[in-house]
Chain A
Amino acid sequence: AQSVTQLGSHVSVSEGALVLLRCNYSSSVPPYLFWYVQYPNQGLQLLLKYTSAATLVKGINGFEAEFKKSETSFHLTKPSAHMSDAAEYFCAVSESDSWGKLQFGAGTQVVVTP
């Protein structure tokens, strides 16, 4: 069975500061891992994904995430927060290569302060 844990339901970060969102997973087989962002009243948008290639994955909007098997983690980072980064972020895991049946974390609400 697969599962995802996101540490921290709310994160507040100053504009220009580092954004760090934590995600730990549990999977019985090598996982495929995703980060999605959801802006108010909008659908989920894929930020980046890990597909067993490079462990450091670069995504859109300056975000990146590193897959660490030993720590079963896939933390999301961005060096410098922008006001437009305020949104809900979801980590998700899939155990198949069909890209279906995503198991989502509870989500982390990011607030960016001036």
Chain B
Amino acid sequence: GAVVSQHPSWVICKSGTSVKIECRSLDFQATTMFWYRQFPKQSLMLMATSNEGSKATYEQGVEKDKFLINHASLTLSTLTVTSAHPEDSSFYICSARDSRGRSTDTQYFGPGTRLTVL
């Protein structure tokens, strides 16, 4: 099946620094990618929808200036957490939709990135 990777799988950073997380579709092209956030023992919350070549659409309550999303190619979307603070510590998961028509109705999920801000 289709594979989505995320890098890094985990990261620890100091408060005030920025962290970039990459989401790649390895064997298919993804017009649309999604970014989710998952707190311990909680559900996945959609943060934003990332469309290749256009600005991301953020969900209500998500700070677009804090969570910068770039979807510059059909296989790569990045999420940058700017000026990270301890409350940003979370598990970030991306997903991608296959845009070639083979399985356009399925989202493929990455393995997630664990961010810890000290």
Q: Is B49 a contact partner of A90 (Cβ separation < 8 A)?
A: no
Q: Is A102 a contact partner of B46 (Cβ separation < 8 A)?
A: yes
Main SS class of interface, A:
loop
List A contacts of B63 (CB < 8 A). none
List B contacts of A101 (CB < 8 A). 34, 46, 49
Question: In chain A, what residue has the closest Cβ to B9?
Answer: A41
Q: Is A43 a contact partner of B32 (Cβ separation < 8 A)?
A: no
Main SS class of interface, B:
strand
State A100–B56 Cα separation when bound (angstroms).
13
B54 contacts chain A at the CB level, 8 A cutoff = no
List B contacts of A46 (CB < 8 A). 106-107
List B contacts of A41 (CB < 8 A). 9, 111
A45 contacts chain B at the CB level, 8 A cutoff = yes
Contact with A along B84-118 (1 / 0, CB 8 A): 00000000010101000000111111111000000
A42 contacts chain B at the CB level, 8 A cutoff = yes
Chain B: residues with CB nearer than 8 A to chain A?
A: 4, 9, 32, 34, 36, 41-46, 49, 93, 95, 97, 104-112
